[in-house]
Amino acid sequence: MALMFRALILYLLLFINGNVAAGDDDIVIAANQNVSENHISRSFARQIFSMKARQWPDGSPVIVFVLPDRSAHHLIFVKEILETFPYKLRSAWDRQVYSGTGQAPREVATTDQMMVNIANTPGAIGYLPREKIDGIRIRLVEVR
Amino acid sequence: MLRSYVVRIIFLFGVMCSTPSWALEFDDGKVQVHGFASQGIVSSSHNNFYGDSSNNISFDFREIGINASYRPRPDLQFSAQVIHLDAGDVNESGLLLDYALVDYTISSTEDRQVGVRFGRVKNPFGLYTTTRDVAFTRPSIVLPQSIYFDKARSLALSSDGVGVYANQESAYGAVNLDVVVGNANVDRGSEATFIRRDAPGNMESMRPSRLMRVMYITPNDRFRIAFTAANLDLKYNATSHEFDPNIAVHLDPKIISAQYSNEKWELTAEYSQMKSSITSLAPNFDNVIEGYYVQGSYQLTPSLQTVLRYDASFNNKNDHSGKKLSAETGLPAHMFFAKDWTMGLRYDVTPTFMVRGEWHHIDGTGWLSALDNANPLAMERKWDLLMLMGSWRF
């Protein structure tokens, strides 16, 4: 019992750590340099990140990268850019993953990993603090 | 002894899965493997639900599943899931093929997706059916039985056939349409629901069932409303002379679903009517089953959620007290309705491991299975049900 309690405390500490990592960063949608869209609609962004739209308008595959559900960047992105909630996205993914009708996005642990993956994966889309967008290998995609 | 064993397993899962993401990916994420494992503990003051729970503790409640999907191109996906369920005497034992399908997207633009699925396809029945065996996707340990009856769970679960889907986005919101045509899979629990026992023969689809669901979602993604309608025709194949061989069951369930989601709370309600006609050598039996629930959930902290629900079901819409059906059948009136107050708590220990507890206070035995409760006269009208569950997924 004492062991279980200690484990619980450990988990809680882990979460708190994950949540203080980011402050009031300006989060934007980021894409691989081969993505030709400069801006997309909010509804298309929501369809992409809920894994319902799997193709760019030219037919090439969309590869979605996300941070863990409880990371501060994810929370800001989902609430402010997609204007929905992390649990709504999670349930959209789960409904598809466990009924065979879709797949989950690829989860990365940190913004650094997000940068590496977006830069190196054609068709990739994710989100990053604005200052991490180099405009060369990682492009900004505006939501209108 | 058994209890400490189960607690240890659940704890072990939790430790194993404290890393946030545990999904298996191959071929640059084109192949994904996911799964889930849940263990429940059930105890009731009277009546058996999921095993010998009456004044006892039943561990006879497990849900285990693993799936794989392969998306070689953005418009093509192959996927299959195998599950093992254990819920008292109601479910089939062994492994079940939950779904196995090919999904092809015919057209995909910025505001529209249209596609088709072939194989064993999950039926999009109401809000929760497609993933009803995955504890993480349910609002509570057991789904509201008025609509998602566990005693005949497979009826609405999947079809062997074809599914067509379409999603249209616009400034006024999104409209999703799903149509599934195929043979419904019928299990022992469903069979026992209609003929009140597990007879030697088996029930099967008489002809392909038809299911349609249309859903509207507001542009802000907060409110969704859906209408589901289906037609199922089943027949009983007797293998001996001891049972009426000509029994046929026709069901046409209709469900209206609504859900409002906010950051901290979610309000959900569904209402269903199902006309059931049973034809046999005995006098034909026509009936409209009615059910509804209202449910609210509230996120107390990021990892702690409470749920409160009132769920009511009536075997005959015009006989809420069950008295008429009781007079016709000689069975106790409380077997023809159930009114269930549920309070639950969910604690997400990690993103992939959660524990849950819930308490039900129930008036009526309408959704209890004859397989778990062989003697109808031994059932009590008012009863309490306490459930605990640990669930892990990847």
Q: DSSP assignment, residue A61?
A: B
Spatial distance between the Cα atoms of B46 and B54, rounded to a whole number of angstroms: 5
pLDDT at residue B146, as a whole number? 92
B39: which residues sit within 8 A by CB, 6+ positions away? B6, B9, B10, B59, B61, B62, B389, B390, B391
Spatial distance between the Cα atoms of B62 and B256, rounded to a whole number of angstroms: 30
Residue with tokens 């025709």: B233
Whether residues B21 and A14 touch (CB distance < 8 A) is answered with no
Is 60 exceeded by the pLDDT of residue B347?
Answer: yes
CB atoms within 10 A of CB B245: 15
* B170 CA: distance to closest CA in chain A (Å): 8
Beta bridge partner(s), residue B234: B205, B249
- Hey, what are B218's tokens? 């507001």
pLDDT at residue A18, as a whole number? 43
Confidence of residue B90 (pLDDT cuts 50, 70, 90): low
Whether residues A100 and B79 touch (CB distance < 8 A) is answered with yes
Is 80 exceeded by the pLDDT of residue B143?
Answer: yes
Q: How many CB pairs under 8 A join A and B?
A: 125
Once rounded to an integer, what is the mean pLDDT over residues B77-96? 81
A30, A136 Cβ separation under 8 angstroms: no
- Hey, what are B179's tokens? 């149509």
- Closest listed residue to residue B224, CA positions, set B178, B263, B179, B270: B270
Is 50 exceeded by the pLDDT of residue B284?
Answer: yes
Whether residues B108 and A85 touch (CB distance < 8 A) is answered with no
pLDDT at residue B190, as a whole number? 60
Exposed, middle or buried, B305 (CB in 10 Å: 0-12/13-18/19+)? buried
Chain A 7-46, residues with CB within 8 Å of chain B CB atoms? 7-8, 11, 14-15, 40-41, 43-44, 46
The per-residue pLDDT for range B191-202, each reduced to its tens digit, is 566 555 555 566
Per residue in B126-145, is it b (16+ CB within 10 Å) or e — as a string? bbbbbbbbbbbbbbbbbbbb
The per-residue pLDDT for range A53-99, each reduced to its tens digit, is 999 999 899 999 999 999 999 999 999 999 999 999 999 999 999 99
Which residues on chain A are in Cβ contact (under 8 Å) with B261? 85, 88
pLDDT at residue B196, as a whole number? 54
- B311/A3: higher pLDDT: B311
Question: Order of strands across the sheet with A106-107?
Answer: A39-40, A138-143, A27-32, A124-129, A63-66, A106-107
Spatial distance between the Cα atoms of B319 and B327, rounded to a whole number of angstroms: 11
Most trustworthy range by pLDDT among A120-129, B40-49, B242-251: A120-129
Confidence of residue A16 (pLDDT cuts 50, 70, 90): very low
Question: Measured between CB atoms, which of B11, B25, B100 is closest to A106?
Answer: B25
Is 70 exceeded by the pLDDT of residue B12?
Answer: no
Q: Which residue of B has its CA nearest to A78?
A: B263
Is 50 exceeded by the pLDDT of residue B156?
Answer: yes
pLDDT at residue A5, as a whole number? 58
Q: What is the ipTM of this complex?
A: 0.87
Say whether residue A59 is in contact with chain B using an 8 A CB cutoff: yes
Question: Measured between CB atoms, which of A47, A83, A100 is closest to B122?
Answer: A100
Q: What is the β-pairing status of strands A124-129 and B382-393?
A: unpaired
Confidence of residue B279 (pLDDT cuts 50, 70, 90): confident
pLDDT at residue B381, as a whole number? 92
Spatial distance between the Cα atoms of B204 and B217, rounded to a whole number of angstroms: 35
